[in-house]
């Protein structure tokens, strides 16, 4: 932070010196020309001196007014831009146009005898060019403009009076003094301009390094936060699974104990009191159905929240939309099936595969585009997830890929990976017979109705 402030201070000091020096040079040249005009008139040598000029000069008062007016407006625009740096690019561009207009006025009134003021305007405009490549292009164009605006080149097309012509009126010593002062000021102006450019480039380089460092720190913090979130999620899942395991254990333990005792009682009553045995069996059936219902309710709590609230298709779209908003990654999802409707455990595995694969593609592969395709053929579901990330020739299964494989293998499926161009994961899962699923659903419905 201190280095940034120090660079900014040096930059402002250097630019302020350029402004003051250019004001001194412009006023020095203008007053020298005007003073010479008065001296020529006073010495009654106007006719003889005019013969040495290429073009008739304008009135001295008009020249001074125009020079001071243009110079004041030029410095005023520069000062205003620096005081209001937060203005948009459109306004800065507009002020740059006005700056160039008053620059042309100054050059015209000085008969192009001094074009060093171009360096001042270039230095000011260059401050607002952000990209390094654009800065170099702008510098090159500015150098061409500087060369084009030189007195010797312009006078090939437009007749102008040089500063040397004006000071030639004086004796040799005075003429040399005027020309020496002009030359020294031009050299100082060029040195200040070069120093300003060097400081500006160093400032930009340090700013880029600072941004890169901040990006690296932010990336590291994001990775740590992601790891922490994963650990927290795993801890939460483990805690919830343990709680549900205890609940299922307690429920099944209670129900199975009741069924076991009830069956023992039926075995005793079958020969003694068949009616009582039948009654006991009905009670055992009710207990078993209630227990089955409790177990199903507990198992349903293991599903992702999105699958609890919406269909698999909508849950996938919601996950993709959330991930795209957070990471600015383009995720394309295509399903070649009319309807994504499977059994609960299959839907959970499909959802988790897509969730983990997109996370890995963004986090490890640095992917900016991800493609998800789902299709079904011969009662086998194929999920292909590919990305444009960095890929990996030697694929080693971490927790995420291992977790995907375990889930797929639980459904008797298989997983393959390809990492030569980006990263591609292909999961194939056999889908259970839909008729059996419908029959099972119908049976469960009838059981619930009977219980009700």
Q: For residue range 104-147, what is the model confidence (pLDDT) as tens digits?
A: 888 888 888 888 888 888 888 888 777 777 777 777 777 777 77
Spell out the alpha helix ranges (H) of 115-171.
117-126, 132-148, 151-154, 163-167
Could you tell me which residue, 85 or 372, shows the higher pLDDT?
Answer: 372
| pLDDT of the residue at 79 | 86
- Domain ranges for the chain: 1-220, 224-299, 304-430
Report residue 188's pLDDT band, with 50, 70 and 90 as the boundaries: very high
State pLDDT tens for residues 21-42.
Answer: 999 999 998 888 888 888 877 7
Q: Is CATH 1.20.5.1930 what the domain over 224-299 is classified as, yes or no? A: yes
In this structure, are residues 92 and 46 in contact, taking their beta carbons and an 8 Å threshold?
A: no
362-405 pLDDT, tens digit each? 877 888 899 999 999 888 999 999 999 887 777 777 777 887 88
pLDDT band at 332 (very low <50, low <70, confident <90, very high): very high
Counting residues of the chain whose pLDDT is more than 70, the rounded percentage is: 83
Q: How far is 39 from 50, CA to CA, in rounded Å?
A: 13
Question: pLDDT-based confidence at 428, cuts 50/70/90?
Answer: very high
Question: Does residue 233 carry a pLDDT above 90?
Answer: no
pLDDT band at residue 435 under the 50/70/90 scheme: very low
How far, in Å, CA of 106 to CA of 3, rounded?
37
Phi, psi dihedral angles at 333 (to 5 degrees): -120, 125
Q: What confidence score (pLDDT) does residue 382 get?
A: 94
Q: How far is CA 229 from CA 124, 130, 240, 361, in A?
A: 48, 37, 16, 17
pLDDT at 297: 63
Kindly tell me the burial class for residue 77, based on how many C-beta atoms sit within 10 Å of its own C-beta (0-12, 13-18, 19 or more).
buried
Starting at the edge strand found earlier in the chain, the sheet holding 369-377 runs 330-335, 369-377, 380-387, 423-430, 414-418
> Residue 132 contacts by C-beta under 8 Å, 6 or more apart in sequence?
204, 208
Lowest mean pLDDT among 166-175, 224-233, 252-261, 323-332: 252-261
Q: Cα separation of 222 and 224, whole Å?
A: 5
SS3 content of the chain, % helix, strand, coil (to 5): 70, 10, 20
Across 95-104, 276-285, 418-427, least confident range: 276-285
Q: How far is CA 387 from the centre of its chain?
A: 19
Whether residue 167 is predicted with pLDDT greater than 80 in this model: the reply is: yes
Q: What CATH code is assigned to 304-430?
A: 3.30.565.10
Can you give the pLDDT at residue 448? 42
d(CA 163, CA 167): 6
| Structure confidence at residue 450 (pLDDT) | 40
Query: Is-contact 422 387, C-beta < 8 A?
Result: yes
Please give the average per-residue pLDDT across 429-440, as a whole number: 59
160 has a pLDDT exceeding 60: yes
Return the minimum-mean-pLDDT range out of 57-66, 176-185, 249-258: 249-258
The residue that leads in pLDDT, 311 or 345, is: 311
Rounded to an integer, what distance in angstroms lies between the CA atom of residue 372 and that of residue 366? 17
- Choice among 75-79, 152-156, 335-339, 445-449 with the minimum mean pLDDT: 445-449
How confident is the model at residue 385, as a pLDDT? 93
For residues 346 and 381, give the distance between their C-alpha atoms in angstroms, rounded to a whole number. 10
The DSSP secondary structure of 315-371, one letter per residue, reads HHHHHHHHHHHHH--EEEEEE-SS-----HHHHHHHHHHHHHHHHHHHHTS--SEEE
Q: Is the pLDDT of residue 100 over 80?
A: yes
pLDDT at 83 over 90: no
Per-chain mean pLDDT for the chain: 79
Say yes or no to pLDDT of 352 above 90: no
């Amino acid at each position: 932070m201190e280095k940034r402030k120090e660079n900014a201070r040096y930059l402002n000091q250097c630019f302020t010196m350029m402004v003051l020096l250019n004001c001194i040079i412009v006023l020095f040249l203008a007053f020298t020309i005007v003073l010479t005009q008065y001296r020529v008139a006073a010495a009654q040598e106007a006719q003889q001196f005019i013969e040495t000029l290429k073009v008739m000069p304008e009135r001295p008062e008009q020249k001074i007014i125009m020079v001071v007016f243009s110079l004041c407006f030029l410095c005023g625009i520069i000062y205003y831009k620096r005081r209001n740096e937060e203005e948009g690019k459109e306004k800065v561009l507009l002020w740059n146009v006005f700056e160039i207009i008053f620059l042309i006025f100054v050059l015209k009134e000085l008969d192009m005898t001094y074009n060093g003021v171009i360096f001042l305007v270039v230095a000011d405009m260059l401050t607002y060019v952000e990209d390094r490549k654009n800065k170099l292009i702008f510098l090159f164009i500015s150098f061409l403009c500087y060369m084009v605006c030189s007195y010797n080149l312009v006078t090939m097309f437009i007749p102008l009076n040089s500063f040397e012509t004006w000071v030639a009126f004086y004796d040799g010593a005075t003429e040399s003094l005027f020309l020496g002062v002009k030359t020294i000021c031009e050299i100082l102006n060029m040195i200040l301009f070069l120093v300003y450019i060097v400081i500006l480039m160093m400032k930009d380089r340090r700013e880029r390094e600072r941004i890169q460092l901040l990006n690296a720190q932010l990336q590291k913090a994001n990775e740590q936060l992601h790891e922490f979130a994963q650990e927290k999620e795993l801890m939460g899942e483990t805690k919830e699974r343990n709680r549900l395991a205890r609940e299922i254990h307690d429920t099944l333990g209670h129900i199975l104990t009741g069924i076991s005792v009830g069956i023992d009682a039926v075995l005793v009553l079958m020969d003694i009191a068949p009616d009582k045995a039948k009654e006991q069996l009905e009670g055992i059936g009710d207990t078993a159905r209630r227990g089955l219902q409790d177990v199903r309710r507990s198992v349903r709590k293991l599903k992702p929240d999105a699958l609890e609230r919406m269909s698999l298709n909508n849950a996938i779209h919601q996950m993709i939309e959330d991930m795209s908003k957070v990471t600015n990654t383009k995720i394309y999802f295509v399903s070649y099936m009319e309807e994504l409707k499977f059994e609960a455990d299959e839907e959970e595995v499909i959802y988790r595969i897509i969730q983990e694969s997109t996370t890995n593609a963004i986090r490890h592969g640095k992917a900016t585009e991800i493609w998800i395709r789902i299709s079904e053929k011969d009662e086998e579901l194929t999920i292909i997830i590919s990305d444009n990330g960095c890929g990996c020739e030697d694929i080693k299964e971490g927790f995420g890929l291992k977790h995907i494989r375990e889930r797929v293998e639980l459904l008797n499926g298989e997983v393959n990976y390809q990492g030569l161009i980006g990263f591609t994961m292909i999961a194939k899962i056999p889908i259970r017979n839909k008729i059996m699923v419908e029959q099972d659903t119908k049976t469960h419905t009838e059981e619930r109705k009977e219980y009700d």
